[in-house]
Structure 1
Amino acid sequence: MFHIRKLTSLFRRRDLFFQRLRSTSEIIVTVEQGKLKGKCDADIDGVPFFSFMGIPYATAPTGKLRFKPPQPVQKWKGVLDATKDGDCCVSFQMVVTGKGIGLELGGCEDCLVLNVFTHQLFQSDKDKLKPVMVFVHGGAFITGSSRRILYGPEFLMTEDIVLVTINYRVACLGFLVIEDPSLGVTGNAGLKDQLEALKWVQRNIDQFGGDPCNVTLFGNSAGAASVHYLMLSPHSKGLFHKVILQSGTTLCPWTRGINNAKDLVQKLGCNETNNEKLLTLLQEVSAQELLIAEQKMPQHGLSPSFKRPLGPTVEAKTPDALLIQEPLDILKSGTYNHVPMILGYCSIECVLAFMDDQIFITEFDDLVPYYYGIPKGSTQHKDLNTKIAQFYFKKDSPDKNDRLNFTNYFSDAVFINGVYQSLQLHRKFSQKPIYYYRVSLDTDYNLFKKMVKVDFKGAAHGDCMSYLFKIQARGLKKGTIEEKCVRRFVKMWANFARCGSPVPEKNSLLDCEWRPVGQDCLNYLEIDTELKDGVDPDIERMKFWDEINKSFPICMNLTPE
């Protein structure tokens, strides 16, 4: 019966689509700034939908605007072609080849664009507006974009939603800070871009058949942390109504930066210390030169003992400041935007550590996360290092040949502990339901795990994205376990966007309950080739970190020695 209803719905959507398409010679939508020309695409079932890509939502942050908050987008004359991907931010972008994933320098500064995918255009009947899902890409705040080569909409568009994917400034262009707040570069420009995109959605999404009163904001990795930052900011109130955090929160160690602009200038071969002159210099050199200089700053990969040189920060108090309090303090006070939430992680997040030998811990000192503020070389530091090594490796120093325990340590220290601590604080104060999950799916669609070629079961960081977005270089065969997992993942996320519950009722596809966490019970859903509800995933490892946190409270604003 379920499959009959689904087929009937598919045929009805297809027929309505072609009926609308026949009534117009071109696919045109009018937004605040002017007219847009879109195109027709099709989802994995062959059902058509409309695509509008590269839509400007803010003025290009160039020249004197570089590093500053986004400015309103200007109106254009005529019809803007929105049938191709817009440019991504200047950065070392991920590229997928037959040999795996690599990086290449590309993009431009005129990058504040978004994409909209929908099954219907302007709808005068507000009761027929569709739920909106806005996706924020990951990339460690230094790379990434919404390009369809990695984030194709063909999976999610099997659901009757409106999907929005956005670009924002990354690396030094998105997260530089100049110490003098009067110069207007207080940081978090990339997060402010995301905020501006959400404002654009509120003003325009009804033209694409989307409901501005039902917006779900979701992201993976740095995208998830971005969503969490926006959730904690008073500036975002009312701009979204549900959130999904996949493998990232503001309490993960890699989500904060040092933002030393003077170091960046030195890497350009200049010792300027005057803030005004320093800013002028950074605004006059090419964006490509900036990125090359940034690569010369200390890069520490995934190591939790180091703070990245550029990333989100707590800002000086100005009218444009997105975040003026420590996220941990906001979470402890409960003074954030209370909306229904899904959050969780992949079972072997940091298996990616095996892609780069330089990431491996070679020194005993590298086991302690920087945010505990314990001086390296001190007795406390040595004792805690020993404690961590004994827990994970059953000896006093790590062994990278012990691949599973090495992965567990990195996964916990870099990702899972931050997700878990955020969950504990949210469930203490949240006025809305929270759904917790762990992804252990292990199929041929686990792109990142397949690249690393480890032999133990689980899902690596980013693998969950393969079940939500179509990677253009990969096909999806009908009747496979991969297809079933894609449809299940997409259905749960779309259900949540529609009604605030990922599994509102059991059926042949979603054959398991997913209960929200309780004050005294940490319910979660195991997302594997089969679904299974449970309690307290990885609890022994999380209890270990809980004990450390009691002795050395987390303080994210610390700068490592």
Structure 2
Amino acid sequence: MRAELSAGVPGPDDFADPIARTVYGDVRGVREGAISVWRSIPYAGAPTGAARFAPPRPPQPWDGVRDCTRFGQIAPQSMGPMVPIESGLTMGEDCLWLNVWSPRHEGSDPAGRSRPVLVWLHGGAYCLGTAAQEIYDGRKLALAGDVVIVAVNYRLGALGFLDLSSLGDDFVPNLGLHDQIAALEWVRDNIAAFGGDPGNVTLFGESSGAGCVTALLTSPRAAGLFHKAIAQSPPATTVFGPERAAAVARRFLELMELPASRAAELLECPIDRIVAAAGVLLDEVPLKEPGRLAAAPVVDGDLLPTYPIDQFQHGRSHRVPLIVGTNKDEASLFRLLRSPILPVTPDAVNTMLRDVAASHPGMSPERLAEITSAYPDLSKPRGALAMSTDAAFRMPAHWVADGHAQHSPTWMYRFDYATPMLRAARVGAGHATELPYVFGNFGTINHDPTFWLGGRKTAMEISGRIMRRWLAFATYGVPAAIDGSKHWPPYRPSARRALVLDTADRVVDDPDRDLHTAWGQRAVGFS
């Protein structure tokens, strides 16, 4: 059953709060200029009680009109400086909802033309963040491209990406991915009610959200639910195997002070207790084992039959157009915020390399030496940052592109621009710094420290080019800026052409040639 959108000549009610009809009931949004916005529309029921560690279920239908003008509960998580959450948002388990931004063109579209849809998956190391963050407001992007934007909220950390299935039948792995698939199914069945085309859906995300994009690009369950994809800084090799997941689950039970025989009590214990134990675990794992995360997608033989990076390299990813890329200075932000999520000191990076060599039987001392030879400053902070950037983001993105380009149109980029303030702070084009450029959401001059030394005009110009490319890709399947900007040729493993996004866009043949030579074609994971 599909929802329907009424269209025609505007009448008195056309300027009232917008109401859309979904398969579960009517939802009321709000007009914000030329855009209609719905916040926290449920795509699944609250995963509480016996459903806490279960796949999402459809929401209960409702009578009347449901108010969707304010944000609901965000996924339970440990707050931290890596992902600033706006005040006024509350945590809770009733967090399976999404936001919709749709252009409003009264009387200009009597035929009810369907618009391209972009579905956003936020980042946050699989344990932080929410679709309610201001940076992900989709109004400007929706208006700039005459498209419908959807931002998905999903379970995180212990509730979404901690595989507890080794503890009993009450637990299912990859719940965060299950949530995202349920949201994509909701889009398929309901987005027409908001002016969107369910046959033209682009899935895009950043950091762990991009890691979910690359995982879903190899998941049989996700086939056909999206038709293009954009992965911004994907940690595509950060996926656990079952043994690793079981070891982390045992440690989580220790922190919960529960024996394995009482694991089922996790279904009923206070959520605050789970969040607290998960917070300790999420910090503990990367400190003890640099380069690893506590929570991440897992190979479960079902949703993820095997490691996504292997699927890419064997040409088995879904055949859809893909944009993939990274930022020039990914690791710098983790150093600035002193986050343990990524190793940024020489000692931590060397520990990571020893761990990788020990966990990969095919990693010979010669290959490890060849990789480290590409980093002559490895004993210094600068070299450690470069190694961390490449291990976590740069090379996984290249391995994804090399594999996907075997069968589908693929484009690769590198985001290099940094404002004078970010350069002075030695952040440069750090992790996530491209986000305001994609959404067009910059802070005000007084409240955006990245512009304290200038650069706002240039940033706005770069943002315009990026938004136009992303929107053209979502609409036509080709990331042309349609404004005379530099042509962006498709990626080919033989040439590895990439678009460098900077003050002026430029196409570079194999900008990371030395890294490819050192790391080789065989992916190295950190599972």
The structural deviation recorded for 1:154 is 3.3
Q: Does 1:345 align with 2:326?
A: yes
Paired position in structure 1 for 2:115? 130
The structural deviation recorded for 1:177 is 2.3
Deviations 1:26-57 (A, max 9, x none): 32111111111110113xxxxx1100001000
* Residue range with higher mean Cα deviation, 196-205 or 383-392: 383-392
Q: Does 1:442 align with 2:418?
A: yes
Deviations 1:238-292 (A, max 9, x none): 110000010004224799973532221211223x123xx31x2111111111111
CA distance in 2, matches of 1:171, 1:251: 18
Paired position in structure 2 for 1:41? 32
Give, as a single letter, the amino acid of the residue that structure 1 aligns with 2:499.
L
CA distance in 1, matches of 2:42, 2:75: 13
The structural deviation recorded for 1:194 is 0.2
SS at match of 2:284: coil
Identity %: 27
CA distance in 2, matches of 1:364, 1:53: 42
Q: Does the 8 Å contact 2:140/2:441 carry over to 1?
A: no
Q: Does the 8 Å contact 1:254/1:414 carry over to 2?
A: no
Q: Does the 8 Å contact 2:290/2:348 carry over to 1?
A: no
Q: Does 1:84 align with 2:70?
A: yes
CA distance in 2, matches of 1:313, 1:171: 13
The structural deviation recorded for 1:85 is 1.8
Q: Does the 8 Å contact 2:103/2:146 carry over to 1?
A: yes
Q: Does 1:161 align with 2:137?
A: no
CA distance in 1, matches of 2:515, 2:276: 39
1:119 counterpart (95, 103, 112)? 103
CA distance in 2, matches of 1:304, 1:80: 47
The structural deviation recorded for 1:479 is 8.4
User: CA 1:199/1:303 → structure 2, altered by over 3 Å: closer, same or farther?
Assistant: farther
User: CA 1:132/1:255 → structure 2, altered by over 3 Å: closer, same or farther?
Assistant: farther
User: CA 1:479/1:249 → structure 2, altered by over 3 Å: closer, same or farther?
Assistant: closer
Paired position in structure 1 for 2:161? 175
The structural deviation recorded for 1:468 is 1.9
Paired position in structure 1 for 2:176? 190
CA distance in 2, matches of 1:474, 1:438: 26
Structure 2: gaps (5+ residues): 1-6
CA distance in 2, matches of 1:468, 1:84: 24
Q: Does 1:263 align with 2:246?
A: no
CA distance in 2, matches of 1:121, 1:299: 51
Q: Does 1:413 align with 2:391?
A: yes
Q: How does 1:198-217 map to 2 (within 5 A)?
A: 198-217=184-203
Q: Does 1:234 align with 2:220?
A: yes
* Residue range with higher mean Cα deviation, 33-42 or 328-337: 328-337
Q: Does the 8 Å contact 1:53/1:82 carry over to 2?
A: yes
Give, as a single letter, the amino acid of the residue that structure 1 aligns with 2:253.
V
CA distance in 2, matches of 1:223, 1:483: 24
Paired position in structure 2 for 1:331? 312
User: CA 1:522/1:387 → structure 2, altered by over 3 Å: closer, same or farther?
Assistant: closer
Paired position in structure 1 for 2:513? 539
Paired position in structure 1 for 2:401? 423
The structural deviation recorded for 1:373 is 3.5
Paired position in structure 2 for 1:75? 61
Give, as a single letter, the amino acid of the residue that structure 2 aligns with 1:503.
A
Paired position in structure 2 for 1:58? 44
The structural deviation recorded for 1:406 is 3.0
User: CA 1:37/1:106 → structure 2, altered by over 3 Å: closer, same or farther?
Assistant: closer
2:433 counterpart (463, 483, 496)? 463
Paired position in structure 2 for 1:109? 93
Give, as a single letter, the amino acid of the residue that structure 2 aligns with 1:419.
A
User: CA 1:530/1:363 → structure 2, altered by over 3 Å: closer, same or farther?
Assistant: closer
Q: Does the 8 Å contact 2:54/2:170 carry over to 1?
A: yes
SS at match of 2:221: helix
Paired position in structure 1 for 2:376? 393
CA distance in 1, matches of 2:290, 2:105: 49
Q: Does 1:454 align with 2:426?
A: yes
Q: Does 1:30 align with 2:7?
A: no
Deviations 1:156-181 (A, max 9, x none): 12220000001000000002323459
Q: Does the 8 Å contact 1:95/1:103 carry over to 2?
A: no
CA distance in 2, matches of 1:209, 1:502: 23
Q: Does the 8 Å contact 1:112/1:193 carry over to 2?
A: yes
CA distance in 2, matches of 1:211, 1:60: 27
The structural deviation recorded for 1:337 is 1.2
CA distance in 2, matches of 1:194, 1:21: 37
Q: Does the 8 Å contact 1:343/1:437 carry over to 2?
A: yes
Give, as a single letter, the amino acid of the residue that structure 1 aligns with 2:503.
T
CA distance in 2, matches of 1:59, 1:40: 26
Paired position in structure 1 for 2:4? none
Paired position in structure 2 for 1:244? 230
The structural deviation recorded for 1:215 is 0.3
Aligned CA RMSD, in angstroms, stands at 3.4
So what's the TM-score if we normalise by structure 1? Answer: 0.81
CA distance in 2, matches of 1:67, 1:314: 17
The structural deviation recorded for 1:93 is 3.7
CA distance in 2, matches of 1:253, 1:34: 37
Q: Does the 8 Å contact 1:225/1:255 carry over to 2?
A: no
Give, as a single letter, the amino acid of the residue that structure 2 aligns with 1:338.
R
Q: Does the 8 Å contact 2:118/2:203 carry over to 1?
A: yes
1:140 counterpart (122, 125, 131)? 125
Give, as a single letter, the amino acid of the residue that structure 1 aligns with 2:65.
V
Give, as a single letter, the amino acid of the residue that structure 2 aligns with 1:238.
G
CA distance in 1, matches of 2:72, 2:390: 36
User: CA 1:302/1:352 → structure 2, altered by over 3 Å: closer, same or farther?
Assistant: farther
Q: Does the 8 Å contact 2:313/2:402 carry over to 1?
A: no
SS at match of 2:506: strand
The structural deviation recorded for 1:545 is 1.1
Give, as a single letter, the amino acid of the residue that structure 2 aligns with 1:41.
E
Paired position in structure 2 for 1:503? 480
Q: Does the 8 Å contact 1:148/1:471 carry over to 2?
A: no
So what's the TM-score if we normalise by structure 2? Answer: 0.86
Paired position in structure 2 for 1:6? none
SS at match of 2:475: helix
User: CA 1:504/1:375 → structure 2, altered by over 3 Å: closer, same or farther?
Assistant: closer
Structure 1: gaps (5+ residues): 1-15, 43-47
User: CA 1:532/1:21 → structure 2, altered by over 3 Å: closer, same or farther?
Assistant: farther
The structural deviation recorded for 1:390 is 4.8
The structural deviation recorded for 1:223 is 0.5
2:487 counterpart (477, 496, 513)? 513
Q: Does the 8 Å contact 1:178/1:186 carry over to 2?
A: yes
Q: Does the 8 Å contact 1:247/1:343 carry over to 2?
A: yes
SS at match of 2:346: coil
CA distance in 2, matches of 1:463, 1:481: 15
User: CA 1:183/1:367 → structure 2, altered by over 3 Å: closer, same or farther?
Assistant: closer
Q: Does the 8 Å contact 1:37/1:83 carry over to 2?
A: yes
